[in-house]
């Protein structure tokens, strides 16, 4: 399949569409491709021949029929094109596929796609715009604005899908669906728009062909249907992990109100994170003071102002991602900007800065911190919003060989000891290994006189064990669900009876319509059951995650106590008077203890390694890294298992400088370094020599910036 310059090539077979996808993703493709797709009726708003003539040698133009877009998009990953649209695919840069999509409903669409193709051509300088027939129209954008939009046609759903998948989309949006057996949604989309304000962009779809169409453009888990709603954040992380964009289900009026509130919280939080939410209104705001009269989890607080008026605080506007209980509690005195139109108080101005909080902490106090990221060797903690602290395993448990992924859980709140400011402005120095379970935890509040923003759970011995964790009472929900199913089944049976009675006098078309209604009702029941199963599965996953977090907490505290008791033991250890003999014995012991029996033959410890004259002295004086750590690295090095980050030592810090070598008895030895620590100029490195036969001579332990072999 070959394109002709200056003319459009039409693709009308599945095989042709798949071949086109392969050509688009070919790293050796030298020119941009313009791909034009058609809507379900087989029409396109683009003039393919006009575009091809305008581009000539600058790009190849392809037109794909509606029935072949599925085959095309299967090979394009996230960079799809469908419906009445066109996309420009520049030549791949480092295997990175990208595209620019223009919808057929856009004004001056032909001119826009020609300009995009010219810009994507390698080595081409921009030329003056080519005047096409579409350019005679007034230019404008079809990107949806704030407010409520009803996607009631295939073209509108295609446009919504393109909008959701657009990597340049910078505003979150919500999609609400109408159940297939209703004409109105349980979730009120207008309430979302009214409550959130002008920044809210909400789309409404009917469950059926339109929701299936949208889901086919995204992926099965990222779709929305059956009366549910969903907020889609900016970017495309939600495509890979749809749980970042949770579905809010609604099966009746009560659940509709609850789901509506959840969607409002989701959308407000997303808008706040992306900087699109403002408390400004047409009415001038004013400074007020008052007191929190009550907290409505997860995100609202009721405030009685000093003049007697009632107002609300929204957690999303104060600190996105936090529940209201982490910010204020009943009785907290507040002050902030009051918006009479929305009746919201913005207390963001009284949030305590991290430097203010740090100034009130003394070294040695115990505070709470949240686990942000975990690896086997390190954990990143958040003791205050915007502040991080990275701890090694040794600082967590007292033993740097412990695997932290087995002892901590993301989001877990742990007690830590504040040691002082960190090396960077947005970091604090913390420790965990010496924190006792019964030490008091100093509360750290986000606002003056507010509650602690984090709460450390009770010690594991006082908690309910995983085997005692009881699921939430779902009897009422299950009974309502059963009643809905039974009612729907009765209606279906009644309709079947009516169909049987009418079959004599109905023509084939009427019978077929009735059968389709029954089939649709059965599909509704199936979808309703699937939604229920998804929700039940999510509850079970949440319960299992809580149990796993509990078990990790119990294990971490046990490890900390065990390591602490080992360190407290005072026993006399006899060894060798000669440091080299002691080192060799310690290496042998570490190899025996850390190498599984079945691997000892494969990872043998060699006898012929040499210990340089400076090695033992440098090891004796090393600080910041334990002897156990050095011994374990030595065992990996000597047995040939390798040490991550091992590299030749170079004569200077330049990346292309020659490696350090030496000649001994006519044999060339290369100096190499194995890391004992990471990421700082003072990080320790183990220097050693190795010849071509693999023999090793240990040289010294030094800091990263010390280039002495």
pLDDT confidence of residue 578: 92
Greatest mean pLDDT range, 393-397, 435-439, 704-708 = 393-397
pLDDT confidence of residue 486: 57
User: What torsion, rounded to 10 degrees, do the Cα atoms 90, 92, 94, 98 define?
Assistant: 60
Assign 463 a pLDDT band (cuts: 50, 70, 90): very low
> How do the domains of the chain map onto residue ranges?
8-136, 147-273, 286-350, 354-456, 475-568, 579-703
As beta bridge partners, residue 93 has 96
Section 190-213 average pLDDT: 88
Cis peptide before 298 (omega within 30 of 0): yes
Section 551-570 average pLDDT: 66
| Burial class (CB within 10 angstroms; exposed 0-12, middle 13-18, buried 19+) of 193 | buried
As beta bridge partners, residue 311 has 303
Which of 138-147, 209-218, 340-349, 505-514 comes out lowest in average pLDDT?
Answer: 138-147
The answer to whether 387 and 356 have CB atoms below 8 angstroms apart is no
Structure tokens at 46: 């683009």
Residue 457 above 50 pLDDT?
A: yes
User: What torsion, rounded to 10 degrees, do the Cα atoms 374, 378, 379, 383 define?
Assistant: -160
pLDDT confidence of residue 565: 59
Section 51-56 average pLDDT: 86
Rounded percentage of the chain residues whose pLDDT exceeds 70? 80
> CATH assignment of 354-456?
2.40.50.140
Residue 439 above 60 pLDDT?
A: yes
Residue 630 above 80 pLDDT?
A: yes
Assign 397 a pLDDT band (cuts: 50, 70, 90): confident
> 244-269 burial, b if ≥16 CB within 10 A, otherwise e?
ebbbbbbbeeebbeebbbbbbbbbbb
Helical pair 209-217 and 154-165, crossing angle rounded to 10 deg: 30
Rounded percentage of the chain residues whose pLDDT exceeds 90? 26
| Segment 76-114, tens digit of pLDDT | 887 888 888 899 999 887 667 888 888 877 667 888 888
Give the distance, in angstroms, between the CA of residue 564 and the centroid of all CA atoms in the same chain.
Answer: 36
Assign 130 a pLDDT band (cuts: 50, 70, 90): very low
Section 470-486 average pLDDT: 53
Section 352-381 average pLDDT: 89
Assign 681 a pLDDT band (cuts: 50, 70, 90): low
Class for the domain spanning 8-136 = alpha beta
Q: What single-letter DSSP state applies at residue 143?
A: -
Section 189-208 average pLDDT: 89
Q: Are both 147-273 and 354-456 of the same fold?
A: no
Q: What single-letter DSSP state applies at residue 133?
A: G
How is the chain split among helix, strand and coil, in percent rounded to 5? 35, 20, 40
Looking at per-residue pLDDT, the higher value among 227 and 98 belongs to 227
Calpha distance 634→594 (Å, rounded): 12
Calpha distance 62→132 (Å, rounded): 18
As beta bridge partners, residue 420 has 429
Please give the mean pLDDT across all residues of the chain.
81
Q: List, in order, residues 6 or more apart from 298 with CB less than 8 Å away.
A: 265, 315, 323, 324, 325
Structure tokens at 193: 């728009």
Strands 229-232 and 310-314: unpaired
Q: List, in order, residues 6 or more apart from 433 with CB less than 8 Å away.
A: 394, 395, 396, 397, 398, 560, 563, 564
Residue 553 above 60 pLDDT?
A: yes
The answer to whether 160 and 135 have CB atoms below 8 angstroms apart is no
Straight-line distance from the first to the last Cα atom of the chain, in angstroms, rounded to the nearest whole number: 61
Residue 708 above 90 pLDDT?
A: no
Residue 475 above 60 pLDDT?
A: no
pLDDT confidence of residue 461: 47
Task: Give the CA angle between residues 138, 139, 142 to the nearest 5°.
Answer: 120
Residue 581 above 90 pLDDT?
A: yes
Looking at per-residue pLDDT, the higher value among 595 and 481 belongs to 595
pTM: 0.50
Calpha distance 217→212 (Å, rounded): 9
Assign 474 a pLDDT band (cuts: 50, 70, 90): very low
Structure tokens at 674: 């194995």
Calpha distance 676→624 (Å, rounded): 10
| CA dist list (Å): 106 to 37, 135, 147, 280, 366 | 14, 11, 20, 32, 59
Instruction: Compute and round to an integer the Cα radius of gyration of the chain.
Output: 33
What stretches of 44-96 adopt beta strand conformation (E)?
60-64, 85-89
| Segment 264-307, tens digit of pLDDT | 988 988 888 887 765 444 457 789 999 998 888 878 888 999 98
Residue 492 above 70 pLDDT?
A: no
Residue 6 above 80 pLDDT?
A: no
Section 390-411 average pLDDT: 86
Structure tokens at 4: 């002709």
Length of the chain equals 709
Residue 139 above 50 pLDDT?
A: no
| CA dist list (Å): 631 to 123, 330, 558, 584, 589 | 56, 55, 25, 10, 9
Long-range contacts of 240-249, Cβ-Cβ distance < 8 Å, separation of 24 or more = 247/534, 248/187, 249/531, 249/535
| Architecture of domain 286-350 in this structure | Beta Barrel (2.40)
The answer to whether 207 and 177 have CB atoms below 8 angstroms apart is yes
Q: What is the dihedral sign for C-alpha 290, 293, 298, 300?
A: negative
| Segment 28-49, tens digit of pLDDT | 888 899 999 998 888 898 999 8
CATH of 147-273, one of 3.40.30.10, 3.30.1330.60, 3.40.1110.10, 3.30.2270.10: 3.40.30.10
Structure tokens at 500: 């049987």
pLDDT confidence of residue 335: 93
- DSSP class per residue in 560-619: HHHHHHHHH--------SSHHHHHHHHHHHHHHHHS-GGGTTTTPPPS--EE-TTHHHHH
Assign 563 a pLDDT band (cuts: 50, 70, 90): low
């Amino acid at each position: 399949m070959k394109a002709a310059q200056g003319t459009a090539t039409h693709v009308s077979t599945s095989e042709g569409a798949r071949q086109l996808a392969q050509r688009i993703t070919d790293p050796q493709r030298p020119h941009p491709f313009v791909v034009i797709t058609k809507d379900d009726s087989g029409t396109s708003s683009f003039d393919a021949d006009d575009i091809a003539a305008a581009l000539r040698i600058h790009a190849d133009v392809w037109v794909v029929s509606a029935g072949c877009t599925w085959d095309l998009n299967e090979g394009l990953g996230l960079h799809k094109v469908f419906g009445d649209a066109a996309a420009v695919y520049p030549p791949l840069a480092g295997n990175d596929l990208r595209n620019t999509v223009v919808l057929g409903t856009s004004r001056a669409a032909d001119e826009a796609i020609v300009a995009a193709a010219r810009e994507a051509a390698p080595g081409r300088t921009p030329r003056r715009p080519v005047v096409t027939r579409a350019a005679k129209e007034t230019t404008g954008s079809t990107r949806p604005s704030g407010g409520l939009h009803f996607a009631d046609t295939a073209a509108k759903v295609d446009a919504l899908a393109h909008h959701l998948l657009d990597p340049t989309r910078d505003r979150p949006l919500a999609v609400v669906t109408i159940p297939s057996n209703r004409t109105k949604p349980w979730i009120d989309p207008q309430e979302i728009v009214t409550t959130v304000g002008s920044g809210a962009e909400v789309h409404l779809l009917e469950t059926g062909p339109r929701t299936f169409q949208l889901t086919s453009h995204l992926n099965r888990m990222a779709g929305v249907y059956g009366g549910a709603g969903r907020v889609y954040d900016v970017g495309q992380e939600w495509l890979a992990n749809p749980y970042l964009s949770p579905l809010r289900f609604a099966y009746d009026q009560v659940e509709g109100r609850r789901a509506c509130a959840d969607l409002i919280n989701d959308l407000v939080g997303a808008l706040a994170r992306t900087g699109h939410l403002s408390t400004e209104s047409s009415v001038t705001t004013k400074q007020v003071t008052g007191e929190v009269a009550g907290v409505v989890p997860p995100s609202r607080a009721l405030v009685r102002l000093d003049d007697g008026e009632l107002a609300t605080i929204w957690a999303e506007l104060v600190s996105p991602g936090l529940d209201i209980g982490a910010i204020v509690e009943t009785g907290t005195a507040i002050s902030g900007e009051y918006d009479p139109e929305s009746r919201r108080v913005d207390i963001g101005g009284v949030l305590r800065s991290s430097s203010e909080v740090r100034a009130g902490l003394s070294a040695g106090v115990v505070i709470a911190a949240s686990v942000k990221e975990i690896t086997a060797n390190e954990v990143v903690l958040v003791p205050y919003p915007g502040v991080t602290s990275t701890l090694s395993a040794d600082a967590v448990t007292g033993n740097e060989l412990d695997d932290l992924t087995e002892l901590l859980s993301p989001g877990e709140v742990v007690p830590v000891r504040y040691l002082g400011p960190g090396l960077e402005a947005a970091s604090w120095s913390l420790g965990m290994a010496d924190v006792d379970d019964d030490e008091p935890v100093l509360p750290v509040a986000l606002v003056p006189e507010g509650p602690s923003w984090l709460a450390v759970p009770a010690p594991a011995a006082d908690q309910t064990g995983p085997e005692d964790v009881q699921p939430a009472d779902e009897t009422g929900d299950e009974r309502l669900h059963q009643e809905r199913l039974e009612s729907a089944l009765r209606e279906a049976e009644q309709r079947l009876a009516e169909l049987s009675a009418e079959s004599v006098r109905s023509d084939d078309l009427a019978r077929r319509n009735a059968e389709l209604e029954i089939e649709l009702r059965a599909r509704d029941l199936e979808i309703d059951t699937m939604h229920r199963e998804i929700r039940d599965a999510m509850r079970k996953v949440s319960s299992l995650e809580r149990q796993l977090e509990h078990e990790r907490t119990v294990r971490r505290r046990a490890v900390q106590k065990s390591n602490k008791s080992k360190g407290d033991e005072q026993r006399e250890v006899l060894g060798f008077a000669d440091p080299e003999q002691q080192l060799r014995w310690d290496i042998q012991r570490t190899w025996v203890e850390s190498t599984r029996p079945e691997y000892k033959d494969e990872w043998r410890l060699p006898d012929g390694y040499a210990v340089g004259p400076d090695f033992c002295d440098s090891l004796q004086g090393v600080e910041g890294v334990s002897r156990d750590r050095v011994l374990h690295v030595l065992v990996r090095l000597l047995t040939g298992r390798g040490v991550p980050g091992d590299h030749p030592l170079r004569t200077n810090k330049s990346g292309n400088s020659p490696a350090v070598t030496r000649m001994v008895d006519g044999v060339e030895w290369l100096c190499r370094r194995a890391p004992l620590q990471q990421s700082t100029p003072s990080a320790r490195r183990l220097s050693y020599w190795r010849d071509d036969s693999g023999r090793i001579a240990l040289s010294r332990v030094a800091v990263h910036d010390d280039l002495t072999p």
